[in-house]
Copies of this chain bind each other. A is one copy, B any other.
Amino acid sequence: MNILFVMYDQLRFDYLSCAGHPHLETPNFDRVAARGVRFTRAYCQSPICGPSRMSFYTGRYVSSHGAQWNGFPLRVGELTLGDHLRAAGMDCYLLGKTHMAADKDGLERLGIDPASQAGRRQSECGFDAVLRDDGLWAQGPDGFYDQKTSPYNAYLSAKGYAGDNPWADHANAGISDGQIASGWMMQNAVLPANIREEDSATAWLTTEAIRFLNRVKGRWCAHISYIKPHWPYIAPAPYHDMFGANHVPAPCRHETELENAHPVYKAFLDGKVAQAFQRDETRGAVIPAYMGLIKQCDDHLGRILDHLEASGQAEDTIIILTSDHGDYLGDHWMGEKDLFHEPSVKIPLIIADPRPEADAARGTTCDALVEAIDVAATCADIAGGSVPGHVLEGRSLLPWLRGETPDWRGYVISEYDYSARPFAEDLVKDISDARLFMLFDGRYKLVHAEGGLRPMLFDLEEDPDEFHDLCKSGPPNQALERLYNCLAEWGRRMAQRVTLSDDDIRARRGRSARRGILPFLFDGSEVPDALTQFYRGPAPNDFTDQS
């Protein structure tokens, strides 16, 4: 089997028709869901691109891989999906975004040439990059956000789009009064992007993916990783006006959330992103564009599905559809992501396995508590029939796909490091304490804040919209101690014994004694003679007399 691992960036779990969206029809996502299992309680390991993706690609919690925020380099040598798959004889390719930052100091310290195969893989998070484009060719007084070259920008230039940065001037901008109307200004989200639809980022990457599928040989996993529907929120025609004011839901927010808000939540609420999304005109402009971008993603997913079927690859290809995190879109008075309310931390996850053993669960949903790190474990399981559990902290989802009901985890974890935010200086003494841990057990959602700040607690059974933080006042909830015990257990997990598996350790037992380490003998009668034979015999020359 091969693996098509497709990621959309910032795609909310509930903006798909198979997930019950009232207005948005996504027949191609639904088509995959109908062939597989849709996981209804899947959570990302951190509600922001970089660390979330590093968890997807390493199969390890954020605190385990350490790349805790956007642009924090993943340390050299950290094992990745690519390492595990290649060890099982499967190639692992990338087309699109990873948000990987290479550990340049580490490469230099270890004498690894960044241009060597090992160096390239270390720099591309373990993938063999067919093409890498993080999709944000942003530009400011300090230069470009992404210092690498952009295959997509090069494509646009080659297609005749004008200017140094057609990503900004065309793909992510409309036109207003003859002027560039940048997608960065959200009022412009209502405009069509100044680009032919077939040249937009989603279309371009899809075309590249199909080209790749036409030429790939051997056993492969391909990570097709779209930047959209991530901001800048602006869609090419005809997607820019498929949705309008009548499709914009009321924000899921409550005045009580603003009262005595947790200091970290309050810091985000006071930030520019949240302030923008607290305005109705922002939501009114952005949400239809966001829906249009998703609709476009769905149409292009259809191209890939059609191609797989037409080429005969469909029956050999397991498809994984997911996202790195959600998008608040004004819910909880927030924009973007960063915190742990469901619209931000929950992710869509659909896996379709065409093999007969997956027939039992085909077209069903699964409400097990799933984590993003389970994707890498699932891929390793597909590739090799086993999961290196001493490295991968996730669990294979294949049993669920077969309709089994394995013993499963009792809680999911997500983390957020806000040390990069200036307000961290005001909230914690040491910015290494600018960290949040979410633990959700299926009912209660605990958010622990390091550095002496109080926790947050939501009861999603009584309060599914997460308006009422039970730690604001009143007696401590009885669940709190139990949740904290779970968090402590998780904190003690063995995450770094990555050089030996359990079976390696079992195989080594007794080896020391068989190699002559015998620190328990009084007279040698305790063990078979074979173990002590090298320590017996006629004495050599006598040097014991020092007198």
Residues on A lying within 8 angstroms of B by beta carbon are 63-78, 83, 103, 105-106, 109-112, 116-119, 122, 136, 138-145, 161-163, 165-166, 168-170, 173-175, 178-182, 184-187, 191-197, 199, 231-232, 236-238, 271-273, 275-276, 279, 281-282, 335-336, 389-390, 417, 419-422, 430-432, 435, 437, 448, 450, 484, 487-488, 490-492, 494-500, 502, 505-506, 508-524, 526, 530-547
Identify the closest chain B residue to A519 (Cβ).
Answer: B231
Identify the closest chain B residue to A76 (Cβ).
Answer: B77
A81 to chain B, nearest CB (A): 14
A420 lies within 8 A of B505 (CB): yes
Chain B residue contacts of A506, Cβ below 8 A: 431
A65 CA to B430 CA in the complex, in Å? Answer: 23
Chain B residue contacts of A145, Cβ below 8 A: 512, 515-517
Q: A422 touches which one: B187, B450, B509 (CB < 8 A)?
A: B509
Identify the closest chain B residue to A86 (Cβ).
Answer: B109
Given the contacts A494-B435, A544-B192, A185 and B522 also touching, CB distance less than 8 Å: yes
Q: List 18 A-B contacts (CB under 8 A).
A: A63-B495, A63-B496, A66-B497, A71-B508, A74-B499, A77-B77, A112-B118, A139-B534, A140-B516, A144-B516, A179-B536, A182-B536, A184-B519, A184-B521, A232-B519, A276-B526, A422-B509, A491-B492
Chain B residue contacts of A161, Cβ below 8 A: 540-541, 543
Chain B residue contacts of A191, Cβ below 8 A: 544
A132 to chain B, nearest CB (A): 18
Chain B residue contacts of A515, Cβ below 8 A: 138-140, 142-145
A340 to chain B, nearest CB (A): 16
Q: A77 touches which one: B106, B505, B518 (CB < 8 A)?
A: B106
A187 lies within 8 A of B522 (CB): yes
B520 lies within 8 A of A179 (CB): no
Q: A187 touches which one: B196, B282, B448, B523 (CB < 8 A)?
A: B523
Given the contacts A182-B535, A505-B419, A492 and B450 also touching, CB distance less than 8 Å: yes
B184 lies within 8 A of A138 (CB): no
Chain B residue contacts of A518, Cβ below 8 A: 138, 140, 184
**Given A163-B540, A178-B538, A194-B540, 4 extra CB contacts under 8 A:** A110-B112, A237-B545, A276-B526, A389-B432
B546 lies within 8 A of A184 (CB): no
Chain B residue contacts of A487, Cβ below 8 A: 488, 492
Chain B residue contacts of A65, Cβ below 8 A: 496
A282 to chain B, nearest CB (A): 6
Q: At the interface, is chain A mostly helix, strand, loop or mixed? A: loop
A16 CA to B448 CA in the complex, in Å? Answer: 46
Chain B residue contacts of A186, Cβ below 8 A: 521-522
A108 to chain B, nearest CB (A): 9
Chain B residue contacts of A520, Cβ below 8 A: 271-273, 275-276, 335
A525 CA to B217 CA in the complex, in Å? Answer: 52
A91 CA to B509 CA in the complex, in Å? Answer: 37
A235 to chain B, nearest CB (A): 11
Top 9 A-B residue pairs of the complex, sorted by shortest distance between their CB atoms = A491-B491, A66-B496, A138-B516, A77-B77, A140-B516, A488-B488, A111-B118, A182-B535, A272-B520
B542 lies within 8 A of A72 (CB): no
Chain B residue contacts of A182, Cβ below 8 A: 524, 532, 535-536
A544 lies within 8 A of B185 (CB): no
B169 lies within 8 A of A540 (CB): yes
A339 to chain B, nearest CB (A): 15
Q: A502 touches which one: B103, B432, B543 (CB < 8 A)?
A: B432
Chain B residue contacts of A500, Cβ below 8 A: 72-73
Identify the closest chain B residue to A279 (Cβ).
Answer: B522
A178 CA to B106 CA in the complex, in Å? Answer: 57
Given the contacts A109-B83, A185-B523, A192-B546, A141 and B514 also touching, CB distance less than 8 Å: yes
B546 lies within 8 A of A180 (CB): no
Given the contacts A116-B111, A168-B534, A185-B524, A499 and B546 also touching, CB distance less than 8 Å: no
A496 to chain B, nearest CB (A): 3
B390 lies within 8 A of A432 (CB): yes
Given the contacts A498-B66, A540-B162, A521 and B276 also touching, CB distance less than 8 Å: yes
Identify the closest chain B residue to A521 (Cβ).
Answer: B185
Identify the closest chain B residue to A69 (Cβ).
Answer: B505
B140 lies within 8 A of A534 (CB): yes
Identify the closest chain B residue to A143 (Cβ).
Answer: B515
B273 lies within 8 A of A519 (CB): yes
Chain B residue contacts of A83, Cβ below 8 A: 109
Given the contacts A196-B543, A532-B182, A535-B180, A103 and B431 also touching, CB distance less than 8 Å: no
B531 lies within 8 A of A141 (CB): yes
